[in-house]
Amino acid sequence: MNSNVQARLIATLIIGVLGGIALHAQIVNQIHMTRAQFLFQQGIRYDRLNPSLPVALIGACALALLVIGCYELVVIAIMKAQSIGTKSHREQGG
């Protein structure tokens, strides 16, 4: 398998696991709230996060670019680590 494809698969796995951990932490936090606390928090969230359509579109694009940028940085780091591992393996005569 191509090292680029391997790096992209590993990066997707890492980002997916980190996203799952973050989502789990949020759900665990919400489970331990009473109904009144949960509704109060949702009320604050609704009042604070009710942007207009252009602001929401710009924010969504910025968030997508940030996630894609982080994904590409993880891919680059994995490819560098793979190339270093391959070089050391070749130097050892493997």
- Tens of pLDDT along 29-69? 888 889 999 899 888 888 887 778 898 899 999 999 999 99
Cβ atoms of 24 and 83 closer than 8 Å: no
How many domains does the chain divide into? Answer: 1
* 88 pLDDT higher than 80: no
The pLDDT-based confidence of 92 (bands split at 50, 70, 90) is confident
The pLDDT-based confidence of 73 (bands split at 50, 70, 90) is very high
Range of the domain at 15: 3-91
Q: What percentage of the chain reaches a pLDDT higher than 70?
A: 93
Residue with tokens 């604070």: 48
Residue 75 CB-density burial (10 A; 0-12 exposed, 13-18 middle, 19+ buried):
buried
